[in-house]
Structure 1
Amino acid sequence: MRRLTLCALGVWLAFDQFALADSELETAVVEQRTVPREYRLDGIVEAVNRGTISAQTQGEVLEIFYDVDDFVEEGSLVIRLKDTAQRARVAQATAQLKAAAARLQQARDDHERISGLFAKKAVSRSAMDGAEAELKTAQANQESASSALDEAREQLAYTRIEAPYRGIVTERHVEVGEIVQPGTPLITGISLSELRVVIDVPQSVIAQVRALSEARVYVGDRAVEPEKITFSPVADAGSNTFMVRLDLPPISQPLFPGMFVKAGLIIGKNDALLVPKQAVVHRSEVTGVYSLRENGDIRFRHIRTGRELGDALVVLTGLAKDDRVALDPVAAGIRLHEQLEQARAAAGEGHDG
């Protein structure tokens, strides 16, 4: 007899092949395992990177390159402001820096010359002190001019508003021709590359959730484990719930901020019976499996299932530990029909005799 194994979230179900007349049916043994106990809540998807870009310099809006629902790459030019005044300040600051550099060079030359004369005692101490003071003043003026040029260049750079990350524009706050001041909102966007789920957890279970720090987010037919779980240290005064954030890894299913998803928080563990999903049959409102007895007889048994654990389902009622179920319901159904036909034929022959 050949033995196989099935893994479902760390839960192993024993498989074997069970002989039936001229054919074989692959079966699985229902096993009782310790599984995580979940507390399910609705969560809201939100973007980790979201925000509004505001103006950092004064100017007229010359061009707007993106509108609502447009996708923007990181570093792309989004809005351009008129930069005439900023360029003029850069030119002025550049000229002032050159003048300060010239004065500094002259002060150094004077300081070097007077230092030589002072060493020969050809000038007074006051003249030497004056040369040193002039040198320090020239050095300070050059540093001030250099800082002014850096500030002017920064103000010029602020006339080109670039996207801080890849994302989608959600709102535009200005129009071409408007005069904006520092702090004026320009454009709002979100990034879909980093998402998280926010849930409000009742205070009755927050202690267990914190202690285990395990969760799953159900996206479509997948259970996604978050990369990071963040707990709010205080409860909301109105609802007495704690905000919990679940940072999601990159996933293929389309998710957008504002969508509702189910989140399962692990609050403990309990024993449960597990059956492979492929063994379960759904007929209208009836859920069942084909179970096999030791003598090879097949029965269709109604069951009630719970949540999924990978490739397995939790069985609430209808099966017991060590029960054997067929993994191919179609083949098992055919075999059951054959058995019933054989039983009817045998009963008819007995009646005729």
Structure 2
Amino acid sequence: MKPIKLLPLLALSIVVASCATDGLDAKKAELEALKSQLSEINTQIKALEEEITKEDPEFAAANKKSLLITTAAAKKGEFTHYVEVTGSVLSKKNVSISSETVGRILDVPAIEGMRVSKGQVLATIDAESIQRNIEELENNLSLARTVFEKQERLWKQKIGTEIQYLEAKNRKEGLEKSLASLKTQLSKAVVKAPFNGTVETVRVRLGELVQPGTPMFQFVGESDLFIEADISESYVGVLSKGDSVEVSFPSINKTMKTKVSAIGSIINPNNRTFKVEVFLPNIPEVKPNMISVLKIQDYKNKESVIVPTHLILADNRGDYLFTVENGIAKKKYIKRGYTFADETEVVEGLTGTETIVDKGFREVGDNFSVNVAKL
């Protein structure tokens, strides 16, 4: 590279100055001479910087112009982590109502989605044969009672044998039990709601023949509700009964706090999850099968260092972010803890008193000169 020739240039400037007059033309000539000098000096400075940079990369970082940035403060305080999953409202009173007698369906007043009260009729089964048997038994029972009463009077008068008395008594009591059994069967011909709830599914049609055990309705009660959710098996041993839960219902814009009431002990091999049951108090607006969002607290530290998650970068060595010290950006390697929402817990590398590069964090480098914008 050619050496910088400053002396001839300075000499020229002295000559121009000594020959100049106070006139405007002389000042212009002097200005042009100085500009010429400055241009040549800048060119030579740039060339020197490029050559030095090739041999010393740190030189470029140290001499780079200050970057305009904004900052955010690392904070120290309580950090809470939640497991966030979607759950469904279920009822412990979710039952399948089946026929308890044989017969043809005469009436089905219940429809799917219908809310009913305890004892309300859901369906009626033809029980004509049972009714006829009842009438026949009532006639036989009337005769048996008459025979028993007469035999009992004779027996008290020591007339007749004990066997005759016992046979009359046994026949009367047998007919009474048979009549009671038929009346019970007759009552089962009218299918009623076992408790307040909703008819989820109607599985029979008018005129259909049913047998004992034939499924007729899927019925869900409105009390004893709970929330069930599937949790990843990676949280086995982390969650436990009694953990705090924040539940939100998007459809009714309602949020509440409750607790985990049960933890499943079996892993589903299909999706590698286990069941978690959450207690749900009686809330009139909440209905079975309603979707809910669960935030289950699984970690809490009152002395955490917390930083915005988006400011954390990574390289082959690990996670890092940039702090500002006396107008210089410093690369700080950290060890992450838990992350939730837009905040991350830092367990190593920061004390919580640092000033962190915010806007401009992707443009700065280690030991870069920075200028903090005043907002």
What TM-score do you get using the length of structure 2 for normalisation? 0.54
Quick check: 2:82–2:340 contact (8 Å CA) kept in 1? no
- Which whole-Å deviations, capped at 9, do the CAs of 1:297-353 have from their partners, x for residues lacking one? xxxxxxxx967xxxxx99979xx79xxxxxxxxxxxxxxxxxxxxxxxxxxxxxxxx
Q: Which residue of 2 aligns with 1:21?
A: none
Q: Which residue of 2 aligns with 1:150?
A: 180
- Which whole-Å deviations, capped at 9, do the CAs of 1:202-257 have from their partners, x for residues lacking one? 44433342364443322245443447713334443445533222231122545441
Which residue among 279, 290, 298 is the counterpart of 1:247?
A: 279
Q: Does 1:45 align with 2:89?
A: yes
Change (3 A) 1:70 1:252: closer
Change (3 A) 1:68 1:135: same
Query: What one-letter code is carried by the residue in structure 1 that aligns with 2:133?
Result: R
Which residue among 199, 206, 219 is the counterpart of 1:169?
A: 199
Which residue among 224, 234, 246 is the counterpart of 1:216?
A: 246
Which blocks of at least 5 consecutive residues in structure 2 are unaligned? 1-74, 305-338, 347-351, 354-375
Q: Does 1:200 align with 2:230?
A: yes
* Matched ranges for 1:320-339 at <5 A: none
- Which whole-Å deviations, capped at 9, do the CAs of 1:162-212 have from their partners, x for residues lacking one? 111222323222222222222222222323444321122344433342364
Q: How far apart are residue 32 of structure 1 and its match?
A: 3.9
- The higher radius of gyration belongs to 2
Q: How far apart are residue 154 of structure 1 and its match?
A: 0.9
Q: Does 1:63 align with 2:107?
A: yes
Q: Which residue of 2 aligns with 1:78?
A: 122
Q: How far apart are residue 267 of structure 1 and its match?
A: 2.9
Moved more, 78-87 or 199-208: 199-208
Name whichever structure is richer in strand by fraction: 1
- Which whole-Å deviations, capped at 9, do the CAs of 1:97-118 have from their partners, x for residues lacking one? 323322332332232222xx8x
Quick check: 2:245–2:260 contact (8 Å CA) kept in 1? no
Change (3 A) 1:216 1:96: farther
Q: How far apart are residue 151 of structure 1 and its match?
A: 0.9
- Which whole-Å deviations, capped at 9, do the CAs of 1:32-59 have from their partners, x for residues lacking one? 45x7643332222223322332211122
Within 2, Cα distance between the matches of 1:264 and 1:254? 18
Within 2, Cα distance between the matches of 1:58 and 1:244? 41
Q: Does 1:188 align with 2:218?
A: yes
Quick check: 1:97–1:145 contact (8 Å CA) kept in 2? yes
Query: What one-letter code is carried by the residue in structure 1 that aligns with 2:82?
Result: E
- Secondary structure, counterpart of 2:264 in structure 1: strand
Q: How far apart are residue 268 of structure 1 and its match?
A: 4.1
- Secondary structure, counterpart of 2:155 in structure 1: helix
Change (3 A) 1:224 1:103: farther
Change (3 A) 1:207 1:97: farther
Within 2, Cα distance between the matches of 1:41 and 1:229? 16
Moved more, 204-213 or 70-79: 204-213
Which blocks of at least 5 consecutive residues in structure 1 are unaligned? 1-29, 118-126, 274-304, 308-312, 322-353
* Matched ranges for 1:6-21 at <5 A: none
Within 1, Cα distance between the matches of 2:82 and 2:140? 69
Within 2, Cα distance between the matches of 1:254 and 1:159? 33
Within 1, Cα distance between the matches of 2:302 and 2:120? 55
Within 2, Cα distance between the matches of 1:178 and 1:213? 50
Within 2, Cα distance between the matches of 1:139 and 1:315? 85
Change (3 A) 1:252 1:65: closer
Q: How far apart are residue 266 of structure 1 and its match?
A: 3.4
Q: How far apart are residue 148 of structure 1 and its match?
A: 0.6
Which residue among 265, 270, 277 is the counterpart of 2:301?
A: 270
Q: Which residue of 1 aligns with 2:155?
A: 111
Q: Which residue of 2 aligns with 1:298?
A: none
Q: Does 1:99 align with 2:143?
A: yes
Moved more, 174-183 or 202-211: 202-211
